[in-house]
Structure 1
C-alpha cells in the first residue's frame, strides 16, 4: 500500500497497524520524512527526536508481531509542545534563556502517551513562555508559518503543533492552553483544538501559571482529539488540581448527537468586536446545530465586563516571577513585548490590586456556573479575525488590544476552567479557516464532544488540505 499516511486519522492509522497492513516503523519514518521536508517552509519544530520516535516504533512493531495487547496510540506519531517535559529532551520554552534546559523526567501527559504506544517525533515551537497569542514567533526559533498561507501566522502559543498537524506531519499533537493557546492556533489552522476541564489532564512540573494552564490536544478530527484527551486524562497526585473522577467516554460522546441540547450563541460575549465574515461563518455553524435538534438562544451579553485584567494579572505575574532574574540581568535575550508585559504585571501592580482581582475571579466563576445552569453549551467565534501576518502580534484591525487581549473569546474560560474547544466552521473568501468556540459546564467534557461531533458530521472538513 502507499506509504503516504500524511492525512490519515489516528484511528485509521491504528487500524492499519493493528491489522498488520502497515508497520509502525513505516508510519513513523514517513512522518519524519514529511517533517524534514516541510521544516524549511513551516519552521514548526524546535527539537527533532527521530531516535526516540524510531525506538518507540520498533517496540510497537515487535508487540504487533508478537500478538500482544496494543495501546490506544499504538505506533502513532505525534509531537509535544516545547512547554511540556519529555525526559532527556530540551524544554526551551521558546527562550534563549532556556536554550540548554534538558528535562529530567516526563510530564504526566507524556508518560501516558508513551504508555499508550505513541512515537514522539519532536518538540514543537511556542511563543516565548507561551505569552503571546499572535505571531507564532520566539527569540529562539524565529517565525513559524501557517500551512494555509505561509505569509500568515498559525497563531500562538502552540504554533508549531498546529502548523505541523495542519500540514499532515502527525494526526495530532500535545499543546498547552493558558489563555487560548490551543484554541487560537487550531482556529487559524483549520483544526480541532481542545482544552478539557481544568485539571482533567494533570500538569507537572508546576506551570508558571498553575491556575490557568491546561495541557490540550490539537487534531484534524474530533474523534482523534477525544482519543488524545482520554489517554492523557486522569488523576495524578503530583498535580493538586487534578480531577479525581473517572475519565469520561469522550470518543463515544462524539457520536451521541445533540437533540434538545440548550445552546447559547453569543457573537460578542458582551464586549468583543468580530469581523463580519467570521460572524457569518459562525452563524451558519450555529444554524447547523439547530438543524441537529439543539434549542439555540442568541445571547448578547455573557459577561458584564471584559475579564482581561483578571487574566493578565495572574498570567503575566506568574511568568514574571519565573523570569525575575532574567528581567534584571539578561532582558536583552527576551522577546521585548513579552518582557514589557510581564514587567507591568510584576512591578507596576500593588499586592492589594492583585488580590482584589484574585477575588473577582471567584465572582466570575460563580457567574459562569449560574450561566451553565440555564444552558448546556455556549458557542462563540473562537477569534475575532480569520488571519494575521506571520510574526505579527496583534491584528491591525484591533490596534487597541494587546498580546492576548485581542483574542477576546478564549481567555475567560481559562479563568473559569470550563471545558472549551475550537471547531472548524468554514473558510473565508481568501481561503483561510475560521473556528467556532464551544464551551460547556464544569466537568461536562462529554457534552463538548457531542457538539463537536455533530458539527463535524454536519459539515465535514477532513478532506481539505493546505499542502
Structure 2
C-alpha cells in the first residue's frame, strides 16, 4: 500500500524527499487522489491543476536524483487561493463575472513558492472578491468545514483552510484584507498569519491596496514560518513592499519567552463573544503565564472601527466593480452587491472622515504597544456556524462583517497578526486565539505561538473528514 502523506508537516515531507525515501511524484499523486476522495465532502477547489503539480514534482524528483541544490519547498504540495494569480490558470475571484478569466502571470508569492520547489495542486475557493468572511461563492457554492461539514470554514480563504484542515496539503496561500486568513484558520483549527503590511508583496494590485496581505495557512507554527519566510521580501512592483531584510521566522520559534508583555482582552471593549469561547481562550492565556509571559487584563482597548474598515475595503472593491455593479449586478452575490452599493453611495467627505479616523486609530495603537509586545484576544466570537449562512444566529443583528468583531481592526494599522489554535468547544469545534504584535515584530508572534504549540499541541488532532 502506498504511504499516506496526509497530515505530514513540510519538514517531515521534505526529509523524505531529500533522503530519497519517497519521490515528489508519489507525494503529488497521493495528494491528487485525496482531492478526488475528499472534494465531494468539503468543496475546497475551484480548479485542480494536476499537470502543473506533476510537472513541478518531476522537476523536484530530477533535482533530487541529480544531487542538485533543493529549494525549501521542493516537492511540497500547496494550494493557492483564487484571488492570487497563477500564470496560465483560471482565476475567478469567486465571481461569475470572471468565471473564464485566465491569469497571464504569477503573483510574486506564487513565483517564490514555485522557485522554492512547491507543487501547486490547485486554486482554492473564496467568497466573491473576498468580500465575505463566510464560505459561500456564486462560482463554487459552499465550502464545508472538515470538523463538521454542516458548518462553515469561514472566509474568505475558505478552500485553502479546508484543504489544509482535511490533510490534503500541509500549507495554503491565502489573502487577508480584514481577517480572511485568520478567520478560517480559527474555525478550522489552523495556524494562519498575516505579516506586517508590505512584508509580502501584493501584485497585481489589490482592489484594497492599503489593507491587502498574502500569507500562509498551515497546521503547525513552524510550517507557517517556513512558508512566510519563502514569500516575504521586497518586490518593486508593490509600492508598499518592505525593503528591510526578512527576519528569520523559523529561528524565532525557538526564542525564549521570558519578559514577553501580553495584553489580554476578551472583548477589546466592543465584541460580544460566546462565554464558551472566552473560557477556552482564558485557559490558553493561563498556559502563556505558566510559560513566563507577563499578562495584563485590558478590558477596553479601542472602539469598534467597523465603519472605518468598511469605508476603505468596500469603497475599493466597489470602485473596481463599478461597471459590474451597473451592468451585471444580478449575477453578483446579493450580500456582496448590497455592501458595495452602500460603499459607492458614500460622499468624498464621508470617506475621508473615515480615513482620518484610521490615522487616529494607528496612533492610538502605536501608543498602546509602547507598553506591550502582544495584544491577544479570541480570533472570533463564536464557533463555526451554519455552512450556508453569512452571519451566525446569535449575532443576527449585525452585518456580514461586523459579527466577527476581532480581526478587521488589525488591517487598519498594518500590524502582524496570527490566529493560533487554542482548544475546542463542547461541540468539538476549534477555537482560535488572535495574537497581534507591534509593527514589524512577526518574530514575537512566532516565538509565543511556537512555545504555546509545544505544550498545547493541536496538529495531531484530526477532523472527521480526512
- What is the TM-score of this pair, normalised by structure 1? 0.99
Conserved 8 A contact 1:257-1:453: no
**5 Å matches for 1:444-455?**
444-455=441-452
Tell me, yes or no, if structure 1 residue 156 matches structure 2 residue 126.
Answer: no
User: For residue 335 of structure 2, what is the aligned residue in structure 1?
Assistant: 337
Tell me, yes or no, if structure 1 residue 413 matches structure 2 residue 413.
Answer: no
CA distance in 1, matches of 2:311, 2:130: 15
User: For residue 59 of structure 2, what is the aligned residue in structure 1?
Assistant: 59
**5 Å matches for 1:29-428?**
29-134=29-134, 136-303=135-302, 305-347=303-345, 349-428=346-425
Total equivalences in the alignment: 464
Tell me, yes or no, if structure 1 residue 462 matches structure 2 residue 462.
Answer: no
Residue 36 of structure 1: how far off its partner (Å): 1.2
CA offsets per residue over residues 176-198 of structure 1, 9 Å max, x none? 00010000000000000100111
Residue 387 of structure 1: how far off its partner (Å): 1.5
CA distance in 2, matches of 1:382, 1:325: 35
Q: Give the SS at the match of 2:172.
A: strand
CA distance in 2, matches of 1:420, 1:50: 33
Residue 2 of structure 1: how far off its partner (Å): 4.8
CA distance in 2, matches of 1:265, 1:294: 11
User: For residue 28 of structure 1, what is the aligned residue in structure 2?
Assistant: 28
CA distance in 2, matches of 1:446, 1:242: 18
Conserved 8 A contact 1:182-1:194: yes
Q: Give the SS at the match of 2:35.
A: helix
User: For residue 434 of structure 1, what is the aligned residue in structure 2?
Assistant: 431
Superposition RMSD in Å: 0.8
Residue 104 of structure 1: how far off its partner (Å): 0.5
CA distance in 1, matches of 2:140, 2:122: 14
CA distance in 2, matches of 1:404, 1:192: 21
Q: Give the SS at the match of 1:397.
A: helix
CA offsets per residue over residues 138-165 of structure 1, 9 Å max, x none? 1111000000000000001000000010
Q: Give the SS at the match of 2:121.
A: strand
Runs of at least 5 residues in structure 2 that lack an aligned partner in the other structure: none
Conserved 8 A contact 1:262-1:294: yes
CA offsets per residue over residues 287-328 of structure 1, 9 Å max, x none? 01000000000000110x210000000100111111111111
Q: Which moved more, 1:253-262 or 1:378-387?
A: 253-262
Q: Give the SS at the match of 2:145.
A: coil
CA distance in 1, matches of 2:384, 2:81: 22
Runs of at least 5 residues in structure 1 that lack an aligned partner in the other structure: none
Q: Give the SS at the match of 2:276.
A: helix
Residue 259 of structure 1: how far off its partner (Å): 1.2
CA distance in 2, matches of 1:98, 1:3: 39
CA offsets per residue over residues 81-130 of structure 1, 9 Å max, x none? 00000000011000000001111100000000000000000000000000
Q: Give the SS at the match of 1:465.
A: coil
CA distance in 1, matches of 2:402, 2:171: 27
Conserved 8 A contact 1:282-1:436: yes
CA distance in 2, matches of 1:293, 1:445: 19
User: For residue 8 of structure 1, what is the aligned residue in structure 2?
Assistant: 8
CA distance in 2, matches of 1:296, 1:228: 30
- What is the TM-score of this pair, normalised by structure 2? 0.99
CA distance in 2, matches of 1:212, 1:111: 22
Q: Give the SS at the match of 1:152.
A: strand
